[in-house]
Amino acid sequence: MEEKEFYRQLIHRYVTNQATEEELEAFFHLMGSGEMDKELQAYMEQEAALMAAEETAAPAKVRRLWPRIAAAASVLLALSVGGYFLLHRTHEAPLSALNVKNDIAPGHDQATLTLADGRKIVLTKGLNGKLAEQGNMVVRADSAKGITYTASDQVDHTLTNVSYNTLSTKRGEASPYPLVLPDGSKVWLNAASSVTFPTAFAGKTREVSVTGEAYFEVVHDAKQPFRVKAANQVIEDIGTSFDVNAYADEPVWRTTLIEGSVKINNSRVLKPGQQGQVMGSGVKVIEVDAHNIIAWKEHMFRFNDESLEEIMRQAARWYDFDVKYEHDQLKAKRFGSIVKRFATASEFLHKLELTGEVTFRIEGRQITVMNK
């Protein structure tokens, strides 16, 4: 493959969120060296021409405009000053304020399953086999399928009361594999999160409760709707995959739709690529890059023009550190970045330092944010 064609394909895979981790690293390396400048300029000119043409098209074609705007904006952000942290730098400067001796390790895959009788089972990768029996349900761990709940003829069927279990993670933890609910729906948990659910779904609805952040892949059943209660939100599935972010320290609670359809608080219906933001009693709907929202599930941080305060809240949950700002105005600085969640805290913070906007100091498990 010719070099220019390789560059064009790499740019396309980046802006359409199809790039692998290796391709992302190659993309930012080539942008940092300036080798792809001509191809990037050509891409932007092509996208600008296509957007101009579609703006004058028939109304039926207008909805096709959004993906092109998002793609072009993605590259514009990457080319902008103060945008992505690896751009147009031929080498990485040494850490200016971080004391690597005080480094903080990244989080790890682990969760705790609390049974109805109070027993706690720590879930880690590699765990396999039967974990417990509850009523006529058997709880099993399968490294390929996840944590499953299945009915068994070998247990006491006279126990008819539905019991409730809770899967939870601490700061610095994420579920090692999905929880498979009794109906086959799947749930993944981010750090400092929980999902409480019945061991069997009875009645007219299937309901679970969430704190923190969880990703759902729901088995749709119109006769028995699936509902998620999170903070002051009630999210009803209409056949879907979606992310719920309801951390207590977030200013708004967010539901981001990946596939299908969901209804929030029995009012607003989301389409794929939309996010419902709940603050108080109202629901605001915005367009988002859903790939960035669920990056945590793929062991990545992906930030697109987000405030430093938002970025540090996410990082604090994964690395289990506290954040202190030397000046409050630092919280509003905006950044974009892509970092593997397996990086140490110093490596993560170093990427932000490369913008020349901020610097950090690590003292125990406290991070101080300072002006550069």
pLDDT at 2: 66
pLDDT at 59: 52
pLDDT in tens, 239-255: 789 999 999 999 999 99
pLDDT at 23: 73
245 in Cβ contact with 219 (< 8 Å):
no
pLDDT at 42: 79
C-alpha distances in Å from residue 267, one per residue of 216, 235, 281, 301: 20, 10, 11, 31
* Rounded distance between C-alpha atoms, residue 260 and residue 247, angstroms: 24
**By C-alpha distance, which of 176, 185, 246, 190 is closest to 217?**
185
Q: Report residue 251 as tokens.
A: 């200013």
The CA angle 139-140-145, to the nearest 5 degrees, is 125
* Rounded distance between C-alpha atoms, residue 27 and residue 15, angstroms: 11
pLDDT at 326: 95
* Rounded distance between C-alpha atoms, residue 15 and residue 72, angstroms: 8
* Rounded distance between C-alpha atoms, residue 39 and residue 333, angstroms: 29
Strand order in the sheet with 322-325: 322-325, 366-371, 358-363
Residue 3 host element (H or E): helix 3-15
pLDDT in tens, 337-360: 888 898 999 999 998 988 888 999
Name beta bridge partners: 88: none
pLDDT at 327: 94
pLDDT truncated to tens, each residue of the chain (372 aa)? Answer: 567 777 788 787 777 767 776 677 677 666 655 677 777 777 777 766 666 666 566 554 444 444 444 555 455 444 443 344 433 333 344 444 454 567 899 999 999 999 999 999 999 988 889 999 887 889 999 888 899 998 865 544 444 567 899 999 999 999 998 999 999 999 999 999 999 999 988 889 999 999 999 999 999 888 999 999 998 889 998 778 999 999 999 999 999 999 999 999 888 899 999 999 988 778 899 999 888 899 999 899 988 889 999 999 999 999 999 999 999 999 999 988 888 898 999 999 998 988 888 999 999 999 999 998
pLDDT in tens, 182-234: 999 999 999 999 999 999 888 899 999 999 999 999 998 889 999 999 988 89
Q: Report residue 252 as tokens.
A: 């708004």
Q: What is the pTM of this model?
A: 0.75
CB count, 10 Å around CB of 139?
18
Residue with tokens 């110093």: 346
Residue 336 host element (H or E): strand 334-340
pLDDT at 248: 93
Eight-class DSSP state of 319: H
Count the helix, strand and coil residues of the chain and give each as a percent rounded to the nearest 5: 30, 35, 35
Q: Which domains are present in the chain? A: 3-79 (no CATH), 100-104+303-371 (3.55.50.30), 110-292 (2.60.120.1440)
Task: Identify the sign of the CA torsion 176, 182, 186, 191.
Answer: negative
* Rounded distance between C-alpha atoms, residue 132 and residue 265, angstroms: 35
With 0-12 / 13-18 / 19 or more C-beta atoms within 10 angstroms meaning exposed / middle / buried, residue 13 is middle
**Which residue type, as a one-letter code, is found at position 344?**
T
Q: Report residue 69 as tokens.
A: 């705007």
* Rounded distance between C-alpha atoms, residue 213 and residue 245, angstroms: 4
* Rounded distance between C-alpha atoms, residue 345 and residue 180, angstroms: 32
